[in-house]
């Protein structure tokens, strides 16, 4: 369910419900775009803390390596989190989904660029012919 937070469309929850109502369809829980306020409080705090942690990137390959966890204790104390185990569980789940989505998107972009370099578009071919 937390995976939807990173992969849902830009369609908002209320818009989805309105479309389903107009079409006379029952909302599908698997397709409902989730907004942070519809999650339990612990998950909302985990999302907030997760968004505050700095990102780490591999300089050579450009892959996303996840969040820098060195300041997690400070954030947990600042948000007065009592159940740190549950919060850390949700933060780690958010990070796993976030890493997968970001690295998948980066890989798609790389493949798209490689394909464009391997097979240039017609416009690029026309420009090269005009220059000659």
pLDDT of residue 60: 82
* Distance, CA of 65 to chain centre: 14
93-122: pLDDT as tens digits = 999 998 888 888 888 988 888 887 777 666
The average pLDDT across 3-18 equals 62
**In the chain, where are the structural domains located?**
1-38, 39-131
20-79: pLDDT as tens digits = 888 888 888 777 777 778 788 999 999 999 999 999 888 887 778 889 999 999 999 999
Yes or no: say if 53 and 71 are a contact pair by the CB < 8 Å rule. yes
Distance CA 66, CA 69 (A): 9
22-35: pLDDT as tens digits = 888 888 877 777 77
**How much is the pTM?**
0.64
pLDDT of residue 124: 61
- pLDDT band at 10; cut points 50, 70, 90: very low
User: Is the model more confident about 1 or about 121?
Assistant: 121
Yes or no: say if 91 and 75 are a contact pair by the CB < 8 Å rule. no
């Amino acid at each position: 369910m937390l995976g939807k937070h990173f992969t849902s469309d830009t369609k908002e929850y209320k818009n989805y419900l309105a479309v389903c109502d107009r079409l006379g369809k029952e909302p599908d829980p698997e397709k409902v775009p989730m907004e942070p306020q519809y999650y339990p409080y612990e998950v909302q705090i985990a999302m907030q803390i997760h968004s505050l942690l700095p990102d780490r990137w591999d300089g050579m390959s450009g892959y996303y390596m996840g969040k820098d966890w060195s300041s997690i204790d400070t954030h947990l104390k600042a948000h007065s989190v009592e159940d740190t185990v549950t919060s850390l569980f949700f933060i780690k789940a958010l990070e796993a989904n976030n890493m997968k989505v970001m690295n998948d998107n980066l890989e798609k972009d790389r493949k798209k660029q490689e394909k464009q370099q391997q097979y240039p578009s017609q416009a690029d071919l026309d420009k090269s012919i005009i220059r000659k």
